[in-house]
Structure 1
Amino acid sequence: MRTAIVVGAGIGGVTAAVALEQCGWQVTVLERAPELGEIGAGISVWPGAVAVLEELGIKGVEQVARPGESAGMRRWDGRWIVEAADLGVELPVMIHRAQLHSLITDRLGPAATIHTGTTVTGLTQDADGVTVQAGDQEYRADLVVAADGLRSVIRGLLHPEYDGPRYSGYTAYRGIAEAELTDGGGETWGRGQRFGFAQLIDGRYYWYATANRPADSPTGDPESDVRERFARWHEPIPALLAATSEVLQNDIYDLRTPLVPFVQGRVALLGDAAHAMTPNMGRGACSAIEDAGALARVLRDSRDLAAYDAERRPATTKLVKRSRAIGVMGQLDNPFLSTARDGLLGLGGKAAGLLARRRRVEQSRV
Structure 2
Amino acid sequence: MSSRTPHAEVVGAGIGGLTAAAALARRGWSVTVHEREDTVRAFGSGIYLWSNGLGVLGDLGVRERTVEGAHHGPSIQTRDRRNRTLARLPTNGPGQVQVLTVLRERLISALVAAATDAGAEIVTGSAAHAVDPRGAIVLDGGERRAADLVVVADGVGSRLRDGLGLLGRRRRLGQRCARVLIPRDTDLLPAADADHYIEWMSGRRFLLYTPSSVTDAYIALVCPAGDREAMGAEIPRPVWERAFPHAASIVSRIGPVARWDEFEWVELRSWSTGRVAVLGDAAHAQPPYLGQGGGCAMMAAHGLAHAMSCGAGTPAERLARWERTERPLIRHTQRFSYGIGRLNDVPELPRRLLLSTLGRSRSFGRSRLRAAQAVPTGLPRASGR
2:223 is equivalent to residue 211 of structure 1: yes
Q: Which runs of 5+ in 1 are unaligned?
A: 357-366
Q: Which residue does the alignment assign to 2:172? A: 167
Q: Which residue does the alignment assign to 1:92? A: 99
Q: 1:131 to 1:189 in 2, by over 3 A?
A: closer
Q: 1:314 to 1:348 in 2, by over 3 A?
A: closer
Matched residue SS, 2:260: strand
2:235 is equivalent to residue 224 of structure 1: yes
Residue deviations 1:42-99 (CA, integer Å, cap 9, x gap): 1101111100110111132231321133142211121222344489752421011111
Q: Which residue does the alignment assign to 1:109? A: 117
Q: How many residues align?
A: 345
Counterpart Cα distance in 2 of 1:232 and 1:54: 43
Conservation of the 8 A alpha-carbon contact between 1:146 and 1:267: yes
Map 1:1-366 to 2 at 5 A: 1-58=5-62, 59-85=64-90, 90-107=97-114, 108-109=116-117, 111-126=119-134, 129-159=135-165, 162=167, 164-178=169-183, 179-180=185-186, 181=189, 182=191, 183=193, 184-214=196-226, 221-225=232-236, 227-234=237-244, 237-257=247-267, 259-302=268-311, 304-329=318-343, 331-332=344-345, 337-350=347-360
Conservation of the 8 A alpha-carbon contact between 1:165 and 1:253: no
Counterpart Cα distance in 2 of 1:106 and 1:260: 33
Deviation for aligned residue 1:228: 3.2
| Equivalent position amino acid for 1:338 in 2 | E
- What is the TM-score of this pair, normalised by structure 2? 0.82
Counterpart Cα distance in 2 of 1:298 and 1:132: 25
Conservation of the 8 A alpha-carbon contact between 2:87 and 2:356: yes
| Equivalent position amino acid for 2:103 in 1 | H
Conservation of the 8 A alpha-carbon contact between 1:42 and 1:95: yes
Q: Which residue does the alignment assign to 2:381? A: none
| Equivalent position amino acid for 2:254 in 1 | T
Counterpart Cα distance in 1 of 2:287 and 2:143: 34
Deviation for aligned residue 1:256: 4.2
Q: Which residue does the alignment assign to 1:359? A: none
Conservation of the 8 A alpha-carbon contact between 1:32 and 1:119: yes
Deviation for aligned residue 1:40: 2.7
Question: What root-mean-square deviation, in Å, do the aligned CA atoms of Structure 1 and Structure 2 show?
Answer: 2.6
Matched residue SS, 1:72: strand
Conservation of the 8 A alpha-carbon contact between 1:167 and 1:251: no
Conservation of the 8 A alpha-carbon contact between 1:146 and 1:154: yes
Counterpart Cα distance in 2 of 1:49 and 1:305: 21
Q: Which runs of 5+ in 2 are unaligned?
A: 313-317, 367-385
Conservation of the 8 A alpha-carbon contact between 1:254 and 1:320: no
Counterpart Cα distance in 1 of 2:30 and 2:161: 23
Q: 1:269 to 1:49 in 2, by over 3 A?
A: same
Deviation for aligned residue 1:313: 1.8
Matched residue SS, 2:127: coil
Matched residue SS, 2:327: helix
Conservation of the 8 A alpha-carbon contact between 2:266 and 2:281: no
Q: 1:125 to 1:352 in 2, by over 3 A?
A: closer
Counterpart Cα distance in 1 of 2:127 and 2:101: 32
Q: 1:246 to 1:100 in 2, by over 3 A?
A: farther
Deviation for aligned residue 1:238: 1.6
Q: Which residue does the alignment assign to 1:361? A: none
Conservation of the 8 A alpha-carbon contact between 1:70 and 1:91: no
- What is the TM-score of this pair, normalised by structure 1? 0.86
Percent identity between the aligned chains? 28
